[in-house]
Amino acid sequence: MKLRCAPRVVESRGVDVYHPFETPMLLPVRARLPWNWCVRPHGPLDYVFVCCGGGGLLAGMATYLRYVWPQTKIIGVEPEDAACVQAALHKGRRVTLREVGLFADGCAVAQVGKETFRLIRESVDDVMTVSTDEICAAVKDIFEDTRAIAEPAGALAVAGMKKYALQHRISGATMAATVSGANTNFDRLRYISERTEIGERREAVLSVTIPERPGAFRAFCNAIGKRNVTEFNYRYETAAAARVFVGLTVTPGDDSLDALQRNLRERGYRVLDLTDNETAKLHLRHMIGGRQADDIAEEIVFRVEFPERPGSLLQFLNALGNEFSITLFHYRNHGAAYGRILVGMQVPPGKRAQLRKALLRLGYPFWEESDNPAYLEYLGRLNTD
């Protein structure tokens, strides 16, 4: 029940109200949480990371840990869009955030408590923030390690621990992080899984400009090489050039993405890195398309299904050859056994039989969608009649 309703409840039911961040007697309850860590036989931990919203858990644990392990570094972790404690520490006083992000809703607090802020200033070494993508990656890490699904706020400290260790190049240290909640819903898992690869720095998103001519798309795929493609989005716009939105699997910490971009630029491609672009990741990747251009005649559209294995996408493009100009392409790897492509091509009526034979030789199931009402409504040529 919201705090502003508390006075009515107190009056109507004759009960007492205890503010979660302002009641000193509640803090010892949180202080008991690290007790199991403190009785471990191998001595103090080097670092402890604690998720932080209003500051109650962080203040309670930090007060206890500072007493029993004075040398341990205690670090609070907040979401970037709800960092009320970090803002207060920078100002030297409590502040109220004008807006608070709700992804990590368990820590969506606009102002740190007065008592908790006092204790945090006394006992916490640092407070850091993590992004939504980093939280999503931490949810995945927890699941793969324990087969338990944490809510975004519950995974905050793990996300912070990973980020801190990477930024400070820490190795050989003992670390612990709180996992403090599993109040998530099934629908949110779709978003979490979508953002995890970027949060782990395992997926790069690029916009690449290529020549608009038959075979150019296939040549671009050959330039990418054997890298695992996670996404392709393209729609013909003009006869001059084409822009391709492409997602690629990369290895965290190496320079493979930089090397790929250099290689593409050396081949004459214009490359724009959108890996950290929120608008591109949240919206544009789902909006690339548009109606059939006026200078494209005889567009034919197919939906193709193929086994999701390395090289399958390039095998499909090689089967088409350079004779047919691709006018539309959409592919997204969802981790399923089979990948699905929506592809549009400019094919004169006299060569449609030749295209069908090429697809049949490939052996992938395919369906023509040129008369699909959804395609005609949103991607086909605009009918002004």
pLDDT at 32: 64
CATH assignment at residue 217:
3.40.1020.10
**Lowest pLDDT segment from 97-106, 327-336, 364-373:** 327-336
Tokens representing 170?
A: 């820490």
In a domain, 73, yes or no: yes
Same domain, 83 and 131: yes
**Domain limit, last residue, from 199, 232, 252:** 199
pLDDT at 184: 83
* Lowest-pLDDT range of 11-15, 24-28, 365-369: 24-28
| Of 199, 230, 264, the domain-final residue | 199
Torsion from C-alpha of 155, 160, 163, 168, nearest 10 degrees: -150
* pLDDT surpassing 60 at residue 2: no
Whether 79 and 219 share a structural domain: no
Read off the pLDDT of each residue in 187-209 and give the average, rounded to a whole number: 82
In a domain, 12, yes or no: no
Does the structure show a pLDDT above 50 at 223? yes
CA distance 53 to 110: 9
Residues 93 and 218 in one domain: no
Residue 135, domain extent? 17-199
Cβ partners under 8 Å of residue 233, min gap 6: 244, 245, 246, 285, 288, 289, 329, 330, 331
For the chain, the distance separating the N- and C-terminal CA atoms, rounded to the nearest angstrom, is: 57
* 224 lies in the same domain as 312: yes
d(CA 120, CA 122): 5
**pLDDT tier at 384 (50, 70, 90 boundaries)?**
low
Give mean pLDDT, residues 140-167: 94
Q: pTM for this one?
A: 0.69
pLDDT 10s digits, 234-290: 888 776 788 899 998 887 666 778 888 999 999 999 999 998 888 988 888 888 877
Q: Are 97 and 70 in contact (CB under 8 A)?
A: no
233 and 366 together in one domain: yes
Query: Are residues 85 and 186 both part of a single domain?
Result: yes
Q: What is the pLDDT of residues 307-337, one digit of tens each?
A: 877 777 777 888 877 778 888 899 987 767 7
pLDDT of residue 1: 46
User: Span 116-125, mean pLDDT?
Assistant: 94
From CA 173, how far away is CA 306, in angstroms rounded?
A: 46
Q: Is the same domain home to 173 and 215?
A: no
Which residues 6+ apart lie within 8 Å of 218 measured at CB? 314, 317, 318, 320, 322
Query: Is the same domain home to 246 and 353?
Result: yes
**Is 205 buried (19+), middle (13-18) or exposed (0-12) by CB count in 10 A?**
buried
Residue 184 lies in a domain: yes
Residue 1 lies in a domain: no
pLDDT at position 21 = 62
Of residues 41 and 94, which shows the higher confidence score? 94
Give the domain CATH number at 163.
3.40.50.1100
Q: Which of 183, 199, 215 is the last residue of a domain?
A: 199
Out of 104-118, 166-180, 316-330, which region has the weakest mean confidence (pLDDT)?
Answer: 316-330
Residue 2 lies inside a defined structural domain of this protein: no
Q: Look at residue 10 and tell me if it is in a domain.
A: no
Residues 257 and 357 in one domain: yes
In a domain, 384, yes or no: no
Residue 293 lies in a domain: yes
pLDDT at residue 88 tops 90: yes
Residues 328 and 235: beta-carbon distance below 8 Å: yes
Same domain? For 212 and 355 the reply is: yes
Residues 184 and 262 in one domain: no
Q: Which of 158-172, 263-277, 310-324, 343-357 is least confident?
A: 310-324
Number of domains into which the chain is organized: 2
Say yes or no: 220 and 289 in one domain: yes
